[in-house]
Structure 1
Amino acid sequence: MFLRTSIAALLLVWFGTPCSAGSPALGAYVGNSTSNSQQFESWLGRPVDQIPAHTGRTDWNDWINSISWSVQLWSPLNKPICWTIPLFADGGSLSEAAAGAYQASYVRAAQMLAVTRPSDAVIYVRTGEEFNGNWMPWSAAGHEQDFVKAYRNFVAAFRSVSDRFRFEWNVNVRETRMNPADAYPGDDDVDVIGMDFYYNIQWNPTDPIKAWDEMVNSQYGLQWLEDFASAHKKPSAYPEWGVNSDRAGPYIAKAAQWFSDHNVLYQNVWNSNDAFPGKLSDGQYPNAAAAYIAAFGATTSGANMRASPNR
């Protein structure tokens, strides 16, 4: 215990202060609604530590304007924002991003974000998320070096505006189309190593303990992520995770313990039915909801917090 605390204290000196008062920081994706965020806090019985904000990519106008709109939307809540900014707009390409075709747009986005929340020491940005799957336009399977170059170009543009930006490299759990490490941009361009994981009873075991074991131990599962992050001396993060089973209570308890036991910087539950039917705060999964409150609510949040590095 002394050794773990000492290492965490040293990392805090080297890398800065936490994203929130405790670690791992807790957030909840609730869609683009401040009222939904406030409702989630009331339901959980404690405030969230951060807002996960996802911006648009219908075209380049949407790519830029949705960032400005999101800043205005979330500013009244006065909380740190962890941004998910698309690597490029629909109609763009990984090869063009790798060639530097979108640098002006990246700089413009960085300029908008750099002037927000000056009290925050750092601004977290995730881009190129879930690149190891085949559903994103920046899918890297077979194009690993283009992804690396595109990601580095994004980072370079943002850093040219401000040194407050910190960048998350993000994979999807258990995707075997490629080895994600082949598209790792390098330690100089990655501050946080993240993974999205969802318990979906359409393809995961209905038994929640078996589902959790599968999530952890499968190829490119949670254990792989933590081993990879540790090897690169980076904190991990889980910016999207969720469940769609009312039997998920034991799984949720395992997730809470996993976050507590590892060097996790932040974790955001998917409390929404957009794209994935995972909303917990509306009564559709009452038993799973009770388990989430027991694991992360006001009476237990303090026990789950621990010192964690933040770059």
Structure 2
Amino acid sequence: MSRRRRWMVGACVGTVTAGLLFIGGAIAPAPHEASVPRGTAGGSGGGSAVGVYLHYGTPGVDRMRGFSHWLGGTELRAGHTYLPGDTWTNIEGAPDSLESWARWRKQRSDRLFVLNVPMLARNEAGVPDAEVAELLRAGAHGEYDHHFRKLAQRLVRLGVPDTVVVLGWEMNGFNYTHRCRPDPEAWKRYWQRIVGAMRSVKGQRFRFDFAPNRGSDAIAWTRCYPGDDVVDIIGMDSYDQPPGETFDDMVTQPYGLQHQVDFAKQHRKRISYPEWGLFRHGDNAEYVRGMLGWIAEQRPLYHSITDYCPHGVWQCDQNPHSAEVFRDFLAAGHGR
């Protein structure tokens, strides 16, 4: 999903993205496991926390209480936001709202903070393939390592050294400057450099989430996989849009949901769904039911539904049937 679209929607309706996140047993366990609350799905290694992302900044934290109330009091124990990809300063963690997210995370030891991090500045500037390839090669040679060390240092200083970093998301697509297709080998080496730079910071315990779009898109996402030593979670963004007319199509298509699960099992990784939501087929309750059922069955580390129009179920009132399915499923504690 285009980041440009996120920022435009944020300017118009006061929100950017909202999500519900299930947190299963982590690769590095939380300090303690809480009992499974109402509205959560089970996961290996402990209960799953429900969380929400309602805005990239401080309003996202503030709105969690309303979302929890809408879900009938379901406990929210995960938060998700994005760093802007316009400038290197922002990718280094300049936004003041990170302090709000860090305060929220530290209020309970069993919470999870998920942060999408762009790999390149001007991430939505329509940079042509040839220039993207040059930027990726520069990154692969270490030219941008210092930006990511600064980000890691800021996260550690803020007290969130265990952040889940969704790095270079939707890299198999056509849009972002941090896309993989212009030079897959350079892209993989660059990812490795970034992870190495961030892991070099004292006190960090980051987990890195490799999260392509569902389906083939611009390039098979497996061609971009940078290696088991630099990936902790294998995610997938999956909206109700082609490729795939039905939810079953989305599961069985090449590089679809089942492929992700199988690939993760082969590489002994947890899975996640950092972005999913309604789109091309409107208020499609069957899609929401299918996705929630799949999530309950597969027990990912977390998942996140995008909650601005046309994708969402709480801040978007054009999807009442889907909202009812979403709310009833989670408030009723399905998937435990």
Match of 1:308 in 2: none
Q: Residues 27, 14 of structure 1: CA spacing in aligned structure 2 closer, same or farther, 3 A cutoff? A: closer
Write out aligned runs for 1:99-178 (5 A).
Answer: 99-117=141-159, 122-161=162-201, 162-178=203-219
Distance 1:190 1:16, change over 3 A: same
- Which residue does 2:122 correspond to in 1? 90
1:262 aligns with 2:298: yes
Deviations 1:140-166 (A, max 9, x none): 114111111110011001110144111
Please name the residue that 2:257 is paired with: 222
- Offset, 1:18: 8.5
Mapped pair 1:292 → 2:292: no
* Cα distance, 1:14–1:85 mapped onto 2, change above 3 Å: closer
Contact preservation (8 Å) 2:172, 2:219: yes
- 1:38 and 2:73 matched: no
Structure with bigger RCO (C-alpha 8 Å, 6+ apart): 1
The answer to whether 1:188 aligns with 2:212 is: no
Deviations 1:224-260 (A, max 9, x none): 1001001101010001111145642222222122112
TM-score (normalizing by structure 2): 0.76
Cα drift, residue 279 of structure 1: 2.4
The SS at the match of 2:230 is coil
* Alignment match, 1:7: none
What 5-or-longer segments of structure 1 have no aligned partner?
1-10, 306-311
Paired positions, count? 280
What is aligned with 2:312?
279
* Residue 335 of structure 2 is aligned to residue 304 of structure 1: yes
Write the deviation string for residues 248-279 of structure 1: whole angstroms up to 9, x where unpaired. Answer: 22222221221121141111111123xxx212
What is the RMSD computed on CA atoms of the aligned residues?
2.6
Residue identity matched to 1:177: A
Say if 1:195 and 1:225, in contact at 8 Å, map to a contact too.
yes
Offset, 1:76: 4.3
Structure 2 counterpart SS, 1:215: helix
Q: Which residue of 2 aligns with 1:241?
A: 276
- Asked if the contact 1:20/1:49 (under 8 Å) is kept, the reply is no
- Which residue of the other structure, out of 24, 27, 50, is the alignment partner of 2:78? 50
Runs of 5+ unmatched residues, structure 2: 1-23, 37-42, 124-131
Q: How far apart, CA to CA, are the structure 2 residues paired with 1:19 and 1:263?
A: 19
Distance in 2 of aligned mates of 1:131 and 1:246: 26
CA apart distance, 1:13 = 9.8
Matched letter for residue 286 of structure 1: P
Q: Contact conserved, 1:253 with 1:291, CA < 8 A, in 2?
A: yes
Match in the other structure for 2:51:
27
TM-score (norm 1): 0.81
Report the alpha carbon displacement of residue 176 of structure 1 after superposing the two structures with TM.
3.9
Give the % identical residues: 26
Following superposition, the deviation at residue 123 of structure 1 comes to 2.1
Counterpart of 2:239 in structure 1 is 198
CA drift of 1:218 comes to: 1.2
